[in-house]
Amino acid sequence: MSQAIARSTSVDFLRGLSLIAISIDHVPQSLLAHLTLHTYAYCDAAEVFVFLGGYASAAAYGSMSARGGASLARCSFIRRAVQIYRAYLLTAGLMLLVGLAMLALRIHTAALAYTYAAQLLGRPLQTLLDIAMLRNQPYLAAVLPMYMGFALCVPLLVPVSGRRPGIALVASLSLWLCAPALAHLLPSAEPGGWAFNPFAWQLMFVLGMLCRLHPVPTAFQTSRMGLWLTWLALAVALAFATYKLFLESQPEPGYLKQNLSYLRVVSFVSIAWVVAQLTRLGCIDRLASALPSVVKVGRQGLVCFVCGALISIVADTAMNTAAPAFNTRVQAIAAALSMDALTIAAVLGVAMVATSLRANRWPCRGNRDTQPAPVSKAAG
């Protein structure tokens, strides 16, 4: 969006914040989830993470191309796609293990059916094959196959977006409009298809890349037109928040998120513009400096996502198991707040451990600044 957001600390802080929000949003009993984006807007942390994934991918591809050429950048993103697929298999395996544990302990929650643990007991080989071929995507692992596809497309998308941004945007919008009709092309054993339709969500990824490759000049943002857009974006965001808080009577249908509805796009763009102005004013940088642990979460995005998925389902299961013991509302609120604190602390702890392990894995060999940018920042 703005030139200021190009600083990695700001981007990583926002990515870390979105990862923490994703973790607590998947605990239905969470109290802090009532303060996250989905409560006030027709978008949530998923849009933020995909958008910033596109932004970071464009930055990483450009950096690697400048240092080692386009061939190195292409190979790096192919390796990244393989890494994401391995992370998907690990997340799916963790969900299966948790589901089997829930069945053994006779714990039944809404998430149990989506772990595919029961199917694994009935048809083990077929279930595992369907998961490996992306036909069945266990609970909380479903976003990773989409990311794998995006990583493979980065070497094509970044050069086109850099040279012909208008063509890239029109093509992305056209694919987004056709996304519901194209969903049947994806391998899926479920009638509803993938939880995240990549033909639709690529729009958010491409928008992130375009904002990195063609940032809005500061002069325009501070011009009369830029200020008018800021007030318009703020009005749209407040209108959506008012409707969500006081007028909406039914939850948003799942297919709107699955196919990235226009409401979600408009809601996200309005909030993103406002956040861009806060970034230009230095607000995000100051928050990043005050909360370096959140920045670490953003820099260890894939590891924190996988571990965050496990943390979320364990927290959800623990709260459901303990719920009958709460005799008063105060006890339930205290337990929910405690679980929120433990969930956040666990995600922050994972980031700290991953950062330490990575530092030990890559010992200093001369000037680290001369080495290619870490592939870990390329995508989600």
253 three-class SS = coil
Mean local confidence (pLDDT), 324-348: 95
Domain contains 103:
yes
pLDDT digits (tens, 9 = 90+) for 69-83: 999 999 999 999 999
| Mean pLDDT value of segment 42-49 | 96
Phi, psi angles (nearest 5°) of residue 311? -60, -40
Give me the helices (H) in 123-164, please: 124-132, 143-163
Q: For tokens 């093509």, what's the residue?
A: 171
| Rounded distance between C-alpha atoms, residue 277 and residue 269, angstroms | 12
On whether residue 275 sits in a domain, the answer given is: yes
Residue 369 pLDDT > 60, yes or no?
Answer: no
- The amino acid present at 277, given as its one-letter code, is Q
Q: Does residue 36 form part of some domain?
A: yes
Closest CA to 94 of 115, 124, 125: 115
The residue to which tokens 């390796």 are assigned: 79
Burial (CB < 10 A; 0-12, 13-18, 19+), residue 154, is: buried
Domain-embedded: residue 287: yes
C-alpha 255 chain-centroid distance: 18
Structure token pair of residue 192: 């509803």
Task: Check: CB of residue 266 under 8 Å from CB of residue 232.
Answer: no
Question: Is residue 249's pLDDT more than 90?
Answer: no
Our count of domains for the chain comes to 1
pLDDT exceeds 70 at position 267:
yes
pLDDT of residue 235: 98
Model confidence band, residue 251 (pLDDT cutoffs 50, 70, 90):
confident
pTM: 0.92
Does the pLDDT of residue 378 top 50, yes or no?
no
Does residue 365 lie in a domain region?
no
Q: What is the DSSP letter of 192?
A: T
Distance of CA 115 to the CA centre of its chain: 20
Is residue 2's pLDDT more than 50? Answer: no
Give the span between the Cα atoms of 291 and 20, in whole angstroms. 13
Residue at 335 is within a domain: yes
Q: Which of 206, 220, 221, 126 has its CA nearest to residue 170? A: 206
- CA pair distance 20, 36, nearest whole angstrom: 10
Is 194 among the domain residues?
yes
d(CA 242, CA 265): 18
Query: For residue 376, what pLDDT is reported?
Result: 37
In a domain, 255, yes or no: yes
Structure-model confidence comparison of residues 17 and 359, the more confident one: 17
What's the CA angle centered on 276, arms 272 and 278, to 5 degrees?
A: 120
Q: Which CA distances in Å does 50 have to 238, 267, 343, 356?
A: 23, 15, 22, 26
Q: Give burial (CB, 10 Å; 0-12/13-18/19+) of 285.
A: middle
Q: Above pLDDT 70, what percent of the chain?
A: 93
Q: How far apart are CA 21 and CA 140, in angstroms?
A: 14
pLDDT in the model for residue 4: 38
Question: 76 is in which domain, residue-wise?
Answer: 3-360+370-377
Contact 13, 288 (CB under 8 A): yes
How big is the chain by its Cα radius of gyration, in Å? 21
- Token pair 């089997």 is found at 100
